[in-house]
Amino acid sequence: MSRDHYAGAVAAWAEGASRVYRPIAEELLRHAPHPLRGRTVLDAGAGTGVASDALTAVGASTVGADLSFDMLAWNRPRRPPAVVCDILALPIHDDAVDDAVAAFVLNHVDAPVRALGELIRVTREGGAVLATVYASSSRSDARERIDGAVRAHGWVAPAWFAHLKAAVTPLLGTAEAMARAASTAGLAVSEVREEDVDVGVTDAASLVDYRLGQAHASSWYTGLGEQERARVRAAAIAAAEPVMEPYRPTVVFLSGYVP
Ligand X SMILES: C[S@@+](CC[C@H](N)C(=O)[O-])C[C@H]1O[C@@H](n2cnc3c(N)ncnc32)[C@H](O)[C@@H]1O
Q: Which residues pair with 66 in a beta bridge?
A: 84
Closer to ligand X by Cβ: residue 50 or 63: 50
Secondary structure E strands in the chain: 40-44, 61-66, 82-84, 99-103, 128-134, 188-196, 250-257
Smallest distance from the beta carbon of 225 to ligand X, in angstroms?
Answer: 27
Smallest distance from the beta carbon of 241 to ligand X, in angstroms?
Answer: 26
Closer to ligand X by Cβ: residue 239 or 252: 252
Residue 62 · residue 41 · CB < 8 Å: yes
Smallest distance from the beta carbon of 206 to ligand X, in angstroms?
Answer: 16
Closer to ligand X by Cβ: residue 62 or 237: 62
Q: Which residue is nearest to ligand X (CB)?
A: 47
Contact residues for ligand X, defined by CB under 6 A = 2, 4, 6, 21, 25, 45-47, 50-51, 66-68, 71, 86-88, 103-105, 108-109
How far apart are alpha carbons 61 and 204 in whole angstroms? 36
Smallest distance from the beta carbon of 19 to ligand X, in angstroms?
Answer: 10
- Selection from 108, 104, 259 nearest residue 185 by Cα: 259
Closer to ligand X by Cβ: residue 104 or 220: 104
How far apart are alpha carbons 20 and 160 in whole angstroms? 22
